[in-house]
Amino acid sequence: MTREAIRHTIALRQYAAAAAVELPIPPAVMARMVALMDDPKRDAYKIAEVVEVDPGLGADSLRIANSAAFAFRNPVTSIRQAVVALGERLMRELIARRMRAILGRPELPGYEMLNEGLWRHSIRCAAAAARLSSRTAVSPGIAYTAGLMADIGKLALAQPLRERWDEVRARLEADADCAFDVLEDELLGADHAEIGAEMIRRWTLPPAIVAAVAHHHHPSAAPAKHRAIANVIHVADLVAMQIGVAAGSDGLWYRSDERAIAALEITPAIVEGLMCDVESDVAHLEELLSDPSA
Amino acid sequence: MNDRPPDRRRPRLTVIRDRIRRLADQARPAPPAGSSFAVLRERGLLPSQPPEASTGSAQEVRNERIVVGVNALATARGAGVLITYGLGSCIAVILLDPNSRVGAMCHYMLPDSTQDPRRSASQPLMFGDMAIAQLAEVFTRRGGDPRNAEAYVVGGASLSGMGDLFDIGGRNARMARVTLERLRYHVRGHEVGDRTSRTASLDLNTGAIVVATPGLAPRRLR
Ligand SMILES: [Fe+2]
Q: How many structural domains compose chain B?
A: 1
Domain membership flag for residue B135 = yes
Please tell me which residue, A1 or B123, carries the higher pLDDT value.
B123
Interchain contact, B24 vs A290, CB within 8 Å: yes
Q: Do the Cβ atoms of A251 and B196 come within 8 Å?
A: yes
Q: What is the CATH number of the domain that holds B122?
A: 3.30.1330.200
Q: Which of A100-109, A281-290, B9-18, B28-37 has the highest mean pLDDT?
A: A100-109
Residue B117 counted as domain residue? yes
In this prediction, residue A168 carries a pLDDT of 93
Chain B partners within 8 Å of A244 (Cβ)? 86-90, 155, 157, 197
Average pLDDT of chain A?
Answer: 92
Which band of pLDDT confidence, cut at 50, 70 and 90, is reported for residue B69?
confident
Does a structural domain hold residue B151? yes
The ipTM is 0.84
Which of A89, A270, A271, A288 is most worth mutating to test chain B (most B CB atoms within 10 A of its CB)? A271
Q: Report chain B residues whose CB lies below 8 A from the CB of A268.
A: 164-165, 168
B126 min Cα distance to partner chain A (Å): 8
CA pair distance B167, A242, nearest whole angstrom: 9
pLDDT of residue B22: 54
Q: Inspect the interface and report whether the beta carbons of A287 and B21 lie closer than 8 Å.
A: yes
Residues of A in contact with B87 (CB under 8 A): 244
* Domain residue extents for chain A: 3-18+105-290
Assign B97 a pLDDT band (cuts: 50, 70, 90).
very high
pTM: 0.86
B52 touches chain A (CB under 8 A): no
Check if CATH label 3.40.50.2000 holds for domain A3-18+105-290.
no
- The pLDDT tens digits for B31-62 are 333 345 444 444 444 433 333 333 456 666 77
Specify if B91 maps to a domain: yes
Q: How confident is the model at residue A201 (pLDDT cuts 50, 70, 90)?
A: very high
| pLDDT at B5 exceeding the cut of 70 | no
